[in-house]
Amino acid sequence: PVKQFMSATSRMSVPTEQPDTAPPPVTKKSPEDFIFKEIIGEGSFSTVYLAKELKTGRQVAIKVCEKRHILRERKKDYVLREKEVMNLLNTKRKDSVPFFVKLYSTFHDAEKLYFEMSYAARGDVLQYIRRVETLDEECSKFYAGELLQAIEHMHSLGIVHRDLKPENILLSETMHILISDFGSCKLMDHVVPPSPSSSSSSLSDSGSSNPPGRRASFVGTAQYVSPEVLSDDLRRGRIVGPPADLWAFGCILYQFVSGLPPFRGPNDYIIFKKVLALEYQFPEGFLPNAQDLVQQLLKLEPTERLGASQAGDTYTSIKNHPFFNGVDFDTLYCQTPPKIL
Ligand code: ADE
């Protein structure tokens, strides 16, 4: 069944007679085209390697998944969606932003699936936060600004990431963000602003609603999960849409400024209880403008989050918030990022 993963891109064998106008035959890459180096990332059903492409000498990141493991863990849909979303984000549009890990190719052998991706040479944002404890105001504005541009673009394409967190915000050689890990994404049928009476629901895996009495497995990470993903409202059909990413954005902004995520605890259960009770505090000295923005994003009711009514459009209400004073969103990708000190 995993075959479907590969059939989406054409695989042509030895070219037969072709008219002059035919495109060049597409030959699939294979693991032999690369030298695999060290492990640079590990997930529950994949391992990411740094690799060098022999033909070009280019450094790339290759995500490797074992077919057996994916089938056993029923993760086929996640793998297919990850590929679909990365292809969508790679499609050039006039409003595209370069803030996503690129998918260069996919291929497979008897046991494994391979995703050849752009290599984020500077690791992830979490490492930097840990190293410097907190980002200063300039860095917080710059990196929150790039993250917002990335979220805006995903939402305009109907993509909800659902697992935004500092570990999934990678950094390029030039220290611009590259969002990664699209296995938890949900594709919205059409982009509509959420309303409290929406009737379709999704908890996690397939983006479809669950049969009565069956709860889908939880997707996401406890510290950044929105209350609507956790709450019993789900079984009454509350939609999980773009505002779930705005919640995570609020949590990440809090972490940029203070060093730690707002909802913390010794285990996921305790974190979930705090999320549902909106139980968090701001440490002394927290930037006042950032505090106001976080408070407007961390609303239990998804439709009340700043920008929620603009989902799928431009998040002007967030960009115009005083926290972002002086940020030129449209040129962030070509600015020299402030040094993280
Ligand atoms: N870890 C996971 N994906 C990565 C990538 N594309 N580049 C660097 N490290 C990664």
Q: Does the ipTM exceed 0.90?
A: yes
pLDDT averaged over 10-residue windows placed end to end, the chain, 341 residues: 37 45 78 98 94 98 97 94 95 90 97 98 98 97 98 96 97 98 88 40 38 56 93 66 97 98 97 97 98 98 96 94 98 97 92
Distance CA 323, CA 249 (A): 14
Ligand 1 pocket test, pick from 44, 117, 176 with the greatest ligand atom count within 8 Å of Cβ, gives 117
Q: How far is the CA of 121 from the centre of ligand 1 (A)?
A: 8
Predicted pLDDT of residue 25 = 64
Predicted pLDDT of residue 233 = 58
Ligand 1 pocket test, pick from 42, 63, 180 with the greatest ligand atom count within 8 Å of Cβ, gives 180
Burial class for 55, CB neighbours closer than 10 Å (0-12, 13-18, 19+)? exposed
Predicted pLDDT of residue 7 = 37
Q: Are 99 and 148 in contact (CB under 8 A)?
A: no
Beta strands in 97-172, from DSSP E residues, in sequence order: 103-108, 112-118, 159-160, 169-171
Q: How far is the CA of 191 from the centre of ligand 1 (A)?
A: 29
Q: Are 88 and 140 in contact (CB under 8 A)?
A: no
Going by alpha carbons, the residue nearest to atom 1 of ligand 1 is 41
Predicted pLDDT of residue 26 = 75
Ligand 1 pocket (Cβ < 6 Å) reads 40-41, 48, 61, 101, 117-120, 170, 180
Strand order in the sheet with 112-118: 34-42, 47-53, 59-66, 112-118, 103-108
Going by alpha carbons, the residue nearest to atom 2 of ligand 1 is 41
Predicted pLDDT of residue 44 = 85
Going by alpha carbons, the residue nearest to atom 6 of ligand 1 is 119
Q: How far is the CA of 33 from the centre of ligand 1 (A)?
A: 19
Q: Are 340 and 166 in contact (CB under 8 A)?
A: no
Active-site pick, 33, 77, 124, 163: 163
0.90 exceeded by pTM: no
Distance CA 173, CA 149 (A): 19
Predicted pLDDT of residue 94 = 84
CA distances 304 to 194, 247, 295, Å, are 10, 11, 11
Strand 169-171 and strand 177-179: the pairing is: antiparallel
Q: How far is the CA of 49 from the centre of ligand 1 (A)?
A: 8
Tokens of 134: 């907190």
The answer to whether 136 is a known catalytic residue is no
Q: How far is the CA of 186 from the centre of ligand 1 (A)?
A: 21
Ligand 1 pocket test, pick from 36, 37, 38, 40 with the greatest ligand atom count within 8 Å of Cβ, gives 40
